Amino acid sequence: MRYWIFTLLLSASLFTKGQSNDSLGNALLNAEMHFWQAGNDSTRYNALLLKVYIYRRAGLYHQAINEIDRSRSYALTVDEKSQLKYEELLNSFLNNDYGYCTTFRFDSNEGTNYAKQIELMQLYSLNELQNWTNCKKQMLAYLDKTDTIKTKEILNLPETYRHKDPAKSKRLSAFLPGLGEIYAGYPAKGITSFLLNAGFLAFTGYNIYYHYYITSVFSGFLPVSKFYGGGKRLSTNLADRHNDQEINKIKRLYSNEILGMVK
């Protein structure tokens, strides 16, 4: 049976396209061959762990996690189980699965060799999820209580920001052109939007008053419609931009403190 598997794997690797893919396929094939030739669980574990490393270096984090799950069916030592759990956390983190990383827990006898790395990934994950309240609590828990300066810095970190509701911004621009942009934090754009809409609207009224109906439609009403609708879309985008800037600002503050803690 194993020889049929070797043959199939070898055949598949021959059809792999590109030099990098060939190299990856050959490395995975060799690791799988070591796995099938292994005479005990420890050797099988090492072969599967090698595949985890290969997948991780190739950026194939989901495949790496699959190999970790595959390894769990064998009798492993405490250190081997700890290594697998760390690899699962690392690959989940690299795969941007921050929610899973924040709930990932090691037993008291596990993960001691990777304490700093685990701390960094979990704090960073909380920061990315904008869960700044728990991130701050965890930072304070890790912190040396005698370091009063660092404690004060962390306590002063913001946990919220002034959120601008895109839907509200759009409604304000629909009520009065430019008002949504001002609400979103861009008064210059709001004033410009108001003046453009008011100018074209006045021009439309002027042409209607003097019976230039065609001119009023093409040179007045259509531009008003365009700028009015564009202003509503712009106000929504500006509210989103404001929120993104505020979020990134807070994330940078937390990132600097996190990196300072794990050095």
* HSE-CB of 5 using CA atoms within 13 angstroms: 10
In a domain, 240, yes or no: yes
19 lies in a domain? yes
CB neighbours of residue 138 within 10 Å? 17
CA-nearest of 111, 168, 82, 126 to 258 is: 126
- Give per-residue pLDDT as tens, 218-239: 555 556 666 667 778 889 999 9
Domain membership of residue 216 (yes or no) is: yes
**Structure confidence at residue 15 (pLDDT):** 45
- Give the pTM: 0.77
Residues 102 and 14 in one domain: yes
- Considering the domain architecture, whether residues 91 and 172 belong to the same structural domain is answered as no
Residues in the chain: 263
7 and 106 inside one domain: yes
Domain of 183, in residue numbers: 166-261
Domain count, the chain: 2
Q: In terms of domains, do 171 and 107 share one? A: no
Asked if 52 and 87 count as a contact pair (C-beta separation under 8 A), the reply is yes
Residue 139 · residue 257 · CB < 8 Å: yes
Residue 99 sits in the same domain as residue 198: no
CB-side neighbour CA atoms (13 Å) of 241: 11
Report the alpha-carbon distance of residue 259 to residue 13 in Å, rounded: 42
**What pLDDT shows up at residue 65?**
93
Could you tell me if 95 and 192 lie in one domain?
A: no
Residue ranges in the chain modelled with pLDDT below 50: 1-10, 12-19
Q: What secondary structure, in 3-state letters, does 208-219 show?
A: HHCCCHHHHHHH
Boundary residue ending a domain (72, 87, 112): 112
Same domain, yes or no: 170 and 93 = no
Q: Classify residue 176 by its DSSP letter.
A: S
Alpha-carbon distance of 186 to 238, in angstroms, equals 8
Q: For residue 130, is it within any domain? A: no
What confidence score (pLDDT) does residue 2 get? 43
Where a domain ends, among 112, 137, 157?
A: 112
**pLDDT for residue 52:** 92
DSSP letter assigned to residue 114: G
pLDDT tens-digit series, residues 49-97: 999 999 999 999 999 999 999 888 888 888 888 888 899 999 999 999 9
Neighbours of 233 (CB within 10 A): 12
Q: Which residues contact 39 (CB under 8 A, 6 or more apart)?
A: none
Q: Is 148 domain-assigned?
A: no
Whether residue 103 sits in one domain with residue 18: yes
Angle at 188 between CA 183 and CA 189, to 5 degrees: 70
> Where does a domain end: 112, 135, 156?
112
The answer to whether residue 137 sits within a structural domain is no
Pairwise CA distance, residues 90 & 111, whole Å:
12
d(CA 89, CA 93): 6
Q: DSSP class of residue 263?
A: -
Q: What is the model's pLDDT at position 4?
A: 41
How does DSSP classify residue 244? H
100 and 30 within one domain: yes
Q: Tell me whether residue 201 is in a domain.
A: yes
Kindly give, in sequence order, each residue whose CB lies less than 8 Å from that of residue 150, ignoring residues fewer than 6 positions away: 143, 144, 257, 260, 261
